[in-house]
Chain A
Amino acid sequence: MADRDVLVEVDDLVVRYGDLTAVDGISFTARAGQVLAVLGPNGAGKTSTVETLEGYRRPTSGTVRVCGLDPVGDHRKLVGHIGVMLQAGGIPNQMRVGEAVRLYASYYPDPLEPGELIERVGLTGRTRTSWRQLSGGEQQRLSLALALVGRPRVAFLDEPTAGIDPAGRVVVRDLVTALAADGVCVVLTTHDLADAQRIADHIVIVDRGRVLASGTPDELTAGDRLSFGFTTAAGLDGAGLAAALDAVVTEGADGHYEVAGAPTPQRISALTTWLADRELSLADLQVGRRTLEEVFLTLTADPPAPGPPDRALADVPDVPDDPDGPSPRGDSPS
């Protein structure tokens, strides 16, 4: 029964470009109503993975299925069920916001109402603004709107929050959450840890084309801390503190201290007592679960595995391949 909900299946996916291995054996599944974040640095293979799911590339080996269909072979059947937000571009420079949404709506049998959608992404006042004149964040939000206009069952969002201001981020997060609540399967890529932790209910951490870890944010951040940090006045008596805490204490910049021992209640108590005796305030005590950032750093701190000699190179940020930048379009032959 549950398998019917699985809308995205990636099984041992390998994508190579010539002698470059962008994706090196990635597997995951995503279900209806789930927000799955593929998290990793630029060049980790995120975009190559997602573009394989979108049918833009053929797997070198392994299989991918979206809504039970082969994204390349069954492309025509599939496109009506997916919504795609590319990492950059995709809209003609002169096209206005309203035109773009109405045009894309016309491609689908049962689209969302363009006006409402534009309002939901916060572009109501900009319907007559051309793509070129939109800010980066507004372009992202329009791209998102175009990905959603066809009421997709699966939405692929490649870096949906890149280049968006905090208010725009909230818009995107709310939309993604609402989509999932409507039963849409959302697969997004990001290299923003906070985003992944907040939006996603399943995270796949990839680097160099491989899955380093996957699970819910809670699962990934579970586990005992072996050290903790806090901030107070700079220049404390490190030896005295270390004796009080029974652990090595190192002072960093700006009054930040790292304690190389688990944050047991005894240690915390000793620390607060020690500081209170000296009438020092305590700020920024980090004793809870690990943050995703720490998980990341732990996972990626190891030297590169001796595995594949090719570094994953596929998903550097989109830069115009023309060093002179885009030139004004010229229709006139004169």
Chain B
Amino acid sequence: MFFSLVDVVAVPDGYDARVDFIAPGVLALAVMSTAMVSLGIGTGFERQYGVLKRLGATPLGRGRWLAAKVTTVLVTIAVQMAVLIPTAVVLGWRPDGPLVALVPALLAGTAAFAGLGLLLAGTLRGTVTLGVANGLYVILLLAGGMVFPLEQLPDAVETVARLLPAAALTGAVTSSVESGAGDPGAWVVLGVWAVAMPVLATWRFRWERAGAGVTRWRRRGRGAGAGAQPKLTNRWGGYRQPPAVRPCPRRRLVRTGGTSP
């Protein structure tokens, strides 16, 4: 709203009104927020807290779990569209094409960003996912043509930005409803992300957090762990001395913490 009414950002040529540039960008932003940030962080913490692991021992199954996640994201985005589009229209947005034309771009964007969010959640720790998702969000917001036109970026940055999913989504959304604006080439870039990210996420996703089982024993490199004695306490609640840990030639096992409950 703010950007549509106030002359903060220069609007590139080819738009009838300021809101005609901003509105598609905000729709793209909503998709990115929901599919990447919200889904990614939520799933990341579910993985870290063992929620996914626990669900794995129920008849829920991965298929239904994924379907529930996808449904949640799609419903959230649908609600956002139901709020944002009328708001934009009230502010003077007059899309050139039918709004139904938005659906393919929004779906492709959802696939790309949900894939990216799940890739982060399924490979990094919850807190790291939180940081990376938010960091990416800011970068992609600035380099996504959502509120700042890509044309205003330095040429080299613009070239890179156009290959990122955010600008591609914004371009696809814009070209869906604004005749003569947006970048049709964005469809190609968005299509690649929309296929690559879910595939990569499926391939790399790990259901158990990296802290489970034996990996609770953190392996330290020679530098950090050198000279550190393996700290094993209370293995038997004091019944006997803990046995020696076999030193590894290149690394040492160091207990990361915790005592007998």
Contact = CB atoms under 8 A, between A and B. Distances in A.
Contact of A86 (B48, B53, B210): B53
Interface string A46-58: 0110010011110
Contact of B261 (A163, A300, A333): A163
A317 interface: yes
Nearest to B255: A316
Given A80-B59, A311-B245, A321-B216, 10 more contacts: A41-B260, A42-B260, A54-B57, A84-B57, A86-B50, A88-B50, A91-B49, A146-B54, A313-B253, A320-B211
Nearest to A84: B57
Contacts of B191: none
B130 A327 contact: yes
Contacts of A310: 246
B51 A331 contact: no
Q: How large is the interface on A (under 10, 10 to 19, 20 to 34, 35 or more residues)?
A: 35 or more
Contacts of A79: 57-59, 61
Interface stretch (B10-18, B35-43, B77-85, B192-200): B35-43
A312 to B, nearest CB: 10
Contacts, number: 151
Q: How large is the interface on B (under 10, 10 to 19, 20 to 34, 35 or more residues)?
A: 35 or more
15 contacts: A17-B214, A56-B53, A57-B213, A86-B53, A89-B49, A90-B54, A107-B60, A311-B244, A314-B213, A316-B217, A321-B210, A321-B256, A326-B48, A326-B126, A327-B126
A278 interface: no
Contacts of B218: 321
B233 to A, nearest CB: 10
Contact of A43 (B33, B133, B134, B235): B235
B49 A90 contact: yes
Contacts of B210: 321
B208 interface: yes
Contact of A90 (B53, B214, B216, B256): B53
B29 to A, nearest CB: 10
B214 A313 contact: yes
Contacts of B37: 331, 333
A91 B137 CA distance: 28
B71 to A, nearest CB: 15
Name, among A43, A51, A104, the residue most crowded by chain B CB atoms within 10 Å (CB to CB). A43
A333 B132 CA distance: 11
Nearest to B234: A42
B38 A331 contact: yes
Nearest to B52: A90
Interface in A197-250: 208
B187 interface: no
A195 to B, nearest CB: 12
A296 interface: yes
A93 B133 CA distance: 20
Interface string A250-281: 00000000000000000000000000000000
Contacts of A4: none
A333 B33 contact: yes
Contact of B217 (A191, A300, A313, A320): A313
Name, among A18, A301, A311, the residue most crowded by chain B CB atoms within 10 Å (CB to CB). A311
Given A300-B240, A317-B260, A333-B33, A55 B61 contact: no
Interface in A87-109: 88-93, 104, 107-108
Given A89-B49, A330-B41, A324 B33 contact: no
Contact of B239 (A162, A296, A326, A329): A296
Interface of A: 17-20, 22, 41-43, 47-48, 51, 54-57, 76, 79-80, 82, 84, 86, 88-93, 104, 107-108, 146, 150, 159, 162-163, 191, 208, 296-297, 300-301, 304, 309-311, 313-314, 316-324, 326-327, 329-331, 333
B50 A319 contact: no
B86 interface: no
B258 interface: yes
Contacts of B152: none
A317 B137 CA distance: 36
B243 interface: yes
Nearest to B42: A331
Given A42-B235, A318-B216, A327-B127, A311 B243 contact: yes
A321 B214 CA distance: 11
A90 B256 CA distance: 21
B20 interface: no
A56 B125 contact: no
Contact of A301 (B46, B138, B240, B255): B240
A197 B54 CA distance: 28
Nearest to A106: B60
Contact of A321 (B46, B209, B255): B209
A107 B257 contact: no
Contacts of B256: 319, 321, 323
B92 to A, nearest CB: 26
- The 10 A-B pairs with the shortest beta carbon distances in the complex, nearest first, are A321-B211, A90-B54, A319-B258, A89-B50, A17-B214, A84-B57, A162-B261, A107-B58, A90-B50, A333-B37
